[in-house]
Chain A
Amino acid sequence: MTFTIPIDNGDSLKNAEADSQRTLYPYVTGTSIVAIKYKDGVLMASDMGGSYGSTLRYKNIERMKAIGKHSLLGASGEISDFQEILRYLDELVLNDNMWDDGNSLGPKEVHNYLTRVMYNRRNKFNPLWNTLVLGGVKNGESYLGMVSMIGVSFEDNHVATGFGNHLARPILRDEWHADLSFEDGVKLLEKCMRVLLYRDRSAINKLQIAKITEEGVTVSQPYSLKTFWEFKAFHNPTAGAEGSW
């Protein structure tokens, strides 16, 4: 998906400002994030891949990071823009701490800040090429929301980015319910991640699941999921029709 601006920029050397502030396409990208609310807070899953076009180039990228004490940010899309967003949020949290007033930024506030940033960049035709998932718990209340690169922002009980929207959310619509236990929540996320592994070309089999509760954020160690290939139909699919697939 490219942003095409219908003005003739001609010689970009003379019109340095004209296209000096336009991100036209992403380079190193992360794929889906899937997140759900559960009994004690929010669970979020992502793989550790950074794709470079069709090459699965980086396999150790952490796409979920804790923000302050109460929030967890997951990002898909351009990794350099995600790294920049983390710097903005670092500054935000630092300035908030400097007030030293006992108050701390909750997930609602962080989500709102991100929405403003993303929408404002979109208006300048220079988006941060990410879809962000923001989950958190503050004062017993769980929060889960999403912001896209064009500034579309909303909250829900379960969210997913990219391919996850098409493959994971239908599963979640069917099987999510309020007050999931930690074990059931993890199993549900793993079900979604496994489908993504089968069907998303940019997915890799190395994932992390992060949990955020009133106590704080924990991001799991990286691990891999078993996959199933033993359907009888898989063994000899072209036996009846040579040359087909």
Chain B
Amino acid sequence: MDLNLDAPHSMGTTIIGVTYNGGVVLGADSRTSTGMYVANRASDKITQLTDNVYVCRSGSAADSQVVSDYVRYFLHQHTIQLGQPATVKVSANLIRMLAYNNKNMLQTGLIVGGWDKYEGGKIYGIPLGGTVVEQPFAIEGSGSSYLYGFFDLAWKENMTKEEAEQLVVKAVSLAIARDGASGGVVRTVIINSEGVTRNFYPGDKLQLWHEELEPQNSLLDILNAAGPEPMAM
């Protein structure tokens, strides 16, 4: 079987951005693959652009890194010139500029999320091609295919911060269960007027889904716990 270890690094990925009553919650898995090999099982796909704006990256690892690096640089200058924090909309538009004008060469889908004093918490989806879509919630990456139905069902307006984060963690976890290109841990970043909070949910702390079993240390523990004749019917 060809593992294709020379394939470009791609973050198959599941990334999510959700607005709630007061801010935004961004979430992502942590798997970066090179063909069939998992090059990094604990990547951080939620990248800071400014103090109050973050971006979730999916698709080509290199393309998304270079785009976010450029935009961080532009925003840094913009913040100095403006004299106050950049808005989420400006950040999204800078990403759009790079994504649209280089659409033939880039292969990255991004979700820009943050909080500013003018519009509060905002999420902007920027899929392949460079379209910008402001949304109450956005899902991207290969794992997102499995979440359209879930969000159609579970999404509600005006959630609390806790509800929003739980929704994000649940969703990424469900996508990881079905998408081979997503895996590892669930990372979340919550952004509101008070600041930014990063959270980390390792694989074994997540809820179990259909046909998943409780992790054990060893078969021996199961055999010993079951008593002297575990195989008898």
Contact = CB atoms under 8 A, between A and B. Distances in A.
A23 B131 contact: no
Contacts of B131: 27-28, 50, 78-80, 83
Residue among B104, B128, B129, B133 with most chain A CB within 10 A: B129
Contact of B130 (A19, A22, A80): A80
A78 B130 CA distance: 10
Interface residues of B, number: 15
Contacts of B135: 58, 60
A80 B133 CA distance: 10
B111 to A, nearest CB: 13
A23 B105 contact: no
B104 A52 contact: no
B74 interface: no
Contacts, number: 45
A171 interface: no
Interface in A21-55: 21-24, 26-28, 50, 52, 55
B104 A28 contact: no
Interface in B45-88: none
B95 to A, nearest CB: 12
Contact of B127 (A21, A22, A28): A28
A20 interface: yes
A83 B105 CA distance: 19
B155 interface: no
A78 B129 contact: yes
B148 interface: yes
Residue among A19, A79, A80, A83 with most chain B CB within 10 A: A80
A28 B132 contact: no
Nearest to B126: A80
A61 interface: yes
A215 interface: no
Contacts of A79: 129, 131
B contact face: mostly helix, strand, loop, or mixed = loop
Interface residues on A, range: 20 to 34
Interface in B103-133: 103-105, 127-133
Interface of A: 19-24, 26-28, 50, 52, 55, 57-58, 60-61, 78-80, 83-84
A20 B104 contact: yes
A28 B129 contact: yes
B202 to A, nearest CB: 31
5 contacts: A80-B96, A80-B103, A80-B131, A83-B131, A84-B100
A243 to B, nearest CB: 30
Interface in B134-168: 135, 145, 148
A50 B130 CA distance: 13
Interface of B: 96, 100, 103-105, 127-133, 135, 145, 148
A23 B132 contact: no
Nearest to A19: B104
Nearest to A26: B129
A100 B128 CA distance: 40
Given A80-B96, A80-B129, A80-B131, 10 more contacts: A19-B104, A20-B105, A22-B104, A55-B145, A60-B135, A78-B131, A79-B129, A80-B103, A80-B132, A83-B96
A80 B96 CA distance: 9
Contacts of A80: 96, 100, 103, 129-132
Residue among B127, B131, B133, B148 with most chain A CB within 10 A: B131
A23 B104 contact: yes
A86 B104 CA distance: 21
B129 A27 contact: yes
A83 B128 CA distance: 14
A47 B148 CA distance: 20
Contacts of B104: 19-24
Given A20-B104, A80-B103, A58 B129 contact: no
A143 to B, nearest CB: 29
A56 to B, nearest CB: 9
A26 to B, nearest CB: 7
A26 B100 CA distance: 12
A84 B135 CA distance: 19
A22 B96 CA distance: 18
A27 B105 contact: no
A83 B134 CA distance: 13
Contacts of A28: 127-129, 131
